[in-house]
Structure 1
Amino acid sequence: MPEDVRIGLLGCSSIAARRFLPALAASPARLTAVAARDAGRAAEFAARFGGTPARDYRELLERDDVDAVYVSVHTGGHAALARAALAAGKHALVEKPLATTEADGAAVLAAARAAGRVVMENRMFVHHGQHATAAGLVADGAIGELRVLSAAMAIPPLPAGDIRHRADLGGGALLDVGYYPLHAALLHLAGPLAVVGATRQTDPRYDVEVGGAALLRDATGVAAHLTYGFTHAYRSSYELWGERGRIVLERAFTPAAGWQPVLRLERQDRVELRTLPAEDHFVGALGEFLAAVRGERDLAAHGERTLAGLALIDAIRAASARTGVSE
């Protein structure tokens, strides 16, 4: 595989414009083709970012100047479009989550193995160094034994017509923002994780949940309290609470490329604030994907974590359905 991997864009989303394409421009890869449901939008993106506009997704996948694709369509379309790309012989970087269920995610990973191609869920936030710093402090005993993880990702109310309010497009707060606190738990706790209980918040105008919470337990008994939603003031944070202190990260999941995170380390007799370097986690995620495409990185563990996350989403969904809802 050449160093300058040729990328096709499947879906002209806001996140593609704001984060992925700037990261791509800073990489050795290059954009060669663009497709969207609306051919006019694809032409606009191509004029702005480069590449050749395709009439539709199929035309892009048939091009011989595309080695890999970035899938950034509505969540409900991720798995099917990823499988189509793999069947066409393309590698695929897929916006999170890879699928809406564990079964669909497993089918995508199986398709990648059968095709001999790379597929990777774009779990971008884990590529920011602030998380390794927090994990290192825990490992070094800075807060003693870890007892509880609390994580939250929530955003203010969305417009009524937003696609994340539509179940048929893979909408709902759990898949969109609940993904982040769930993967924070998978990042820091000892697997496997079990869902102890969950609840969800609904809105009679929509057929998806607009918020929820879950209680998880890891293999050693450490608890994880997860909160997510579309009806809150913005929050993107987690806390690691140990026997002798706690670590807090704000802007944990969606920091801007130039944002310098501040890690708060609280102990019995003092509070320490550490300003950490700014990083673009999209650059890190794309770099890992390109390394895998070039055969320099094994993504087996990444795939296992992807399925573990989807299994927890399935379990939270089932547990919240048993518990009931609030409006």
Structure 2
Amino acid sequence: MPAPLRLGLLGCADIAARRTLPALLRTPHLRLAAVAARDTARAAAYADRFGGTPAASYDDLLARPDVDAVYLCLPTLLHARWAERALTAGKHVLVEKPLAASGADARHLFELAEGLGLVLLENFMFLHHGTHRKVTELLASGVLGPLRAVSAAFTIPPRPEGDLRHDPLLGGGALLDNGVYPLRAALRFLGCGLTVTGASLRHSTRLGVDLSGAVLLTAPGGATAQLRFGMEHHYRSWYEIQGGAGTLSVEHVYTTAAGHAPVIRLVTGRDVREIPVAAQDHFEAVLRFFAAAVRDRAAVASRLRLLGEESRRQAALLDETRARAVRVQV
């Protein structure tokens, strides 16, 4: 049995404690070796709870020889900087979405990882859930006919005062926080040739961040994607794919609870089918994939390549969205 991949945690965010680290404890071939946070007491508390050794600083963790890879769970605008430092230190990197806020940063990071022979993976859990695999199988079967449109939305209720999503200096705002999910779905279904043909952002002058928005994208063959996102809404986590012969849709698709068994709704003509998918912890699924990629990149090369291409194009589309957006000040 191979030795476990020794993971270092950079940043003690809430998502790590609630979902990622509990999943790590259930994942073979992975163990938490070290934890670093701005607050050393918080790092020590995480280490007591999940294992590993608290590190004195982020740089101290990256210098440790008993850390093979890093799970980077810092505020958005720190992702690119610390991903670069982790790669330069010789560590494989799993980084929370979005990997980068600009296309130039994403390109640089993937070129750096490739040059150093390291794995760099952006943590979009939903792409590793059984739901997405089943949707991919259905699309490959041709049941929808030629794809014509994707509609997708990820919206959440208002966040409390002081939430990091409200801080522009840390990469707050709806586009970077939840807009990237429907954007990533559109890329997966319509390909990396998508371009932004229109966008709108509802911007808070008090907070200095966008609270919600919409994007229209067009694929080379004329298929379109209409995306909605925001953090001042009723909760919605959904996508729909429409083809010439049918329509497919899934609810609760981006932040699927571990115990939730999703249902894919498939409509062709007058026939309506509901296709159940087994419940799965997609945090555990992405950790398993990351460990497998580090252990044997050749075995997952095509999948890893696609994920990297999508991550680079996604970051470039964020640039295009900001450049084309009509901003409504509120």
TM-score by length of 2: 0.94
CA apart distance, 1:326: 4.7
Contact conserved, 1:5 with 1:290, CA < 8 A, in 2? Answer: yes
- 2:207 is paired with a residue of what secondary structure? coil
Partner residue in 2 for 1:146: 147
CA apart distance, 1:51: 0.8
Query: What does 1:102-113 correspond to in 2, within 5 Å?
Result: 102-113=103-114
Q: Does 1:176 align with 2:177?
A: yes
- Which sits farther off after the overlay, 279-288 or 11-20? 279-288
Give the fraction of aligned pairs with identical amino acids, expressed as a percent. Answer: 49
Unaligned runs of 5+ in 1: none
Contact conserved, 2:33 with 2:51, CA < 8 A, in 1? Answer: yes
CA apart distance, 1:152: 0.3
Q: Counterparts of 2:316 and 2:86 in 1: how far apart (Å)?
A: 24
TM-score by length of 1: 0.95
Cα RMSD (Å): 1.6
Q: 1:310 aligns with which of 315, 325, 329?
A: 315
- Which sits farther off after the overlay, 140-149 or 123-132? 140-149
- 1:324 is paired with a residue of what secondary structure? strand
Partner residue in 2 for 1:122: 123
Change (3 A) 1:190 1:304: closer
Contact conserved, 1:190 with 1:219, CA < 8 A, in 2? Answer: no
| CA deviation vs aligned residue, 1:162-221 (integer Å, no higher than 9, x gap) | 111111101111111000000000111133001110001112221111110010111211
- 1:244 is paired with a residue of what secondary structure? coil
Q: Does 1:189 align with 2:185?
A: no
- 1:137 is paired with a residue of what secondary structure? helix
Contact conserved, 1:153 with 1:229, CA < 8 A, in 2? Answer: yes
The number of aligned residues is: 325
Query: What does 1:13-162 correspond to in 2, within 5 Å?
Result: 13-27=13-27, 28-162=29-163
Query: What does 1:221-260 correspond to in 2, within 5 Å?
Result: 221-260=222-261
Q: Counterparts of 2:62 and 2:85 in 1: how far apart (Å)?
A: 8
Q: Counterparts of 2:156 and 2:284 in 1: how far apart (Å)?
A: 24
Contact conserved, 2:157 with 2:233, CA < 8 A, in 1? Answer: yes
Contact conserved, 2:192 with 2:310, CA < 8 A, in 1? Answer: no
Runs of 4+ in 1 over 4 A off after TM superposition: none
Unaligned runs of 5+ in 2: none
- Which sits farther off after the overlay, 93-102 or 143-152? 143-152
CA apart distance, 1:161: 0.8
Q: Which amino acid aligns with 2:57?
A: D
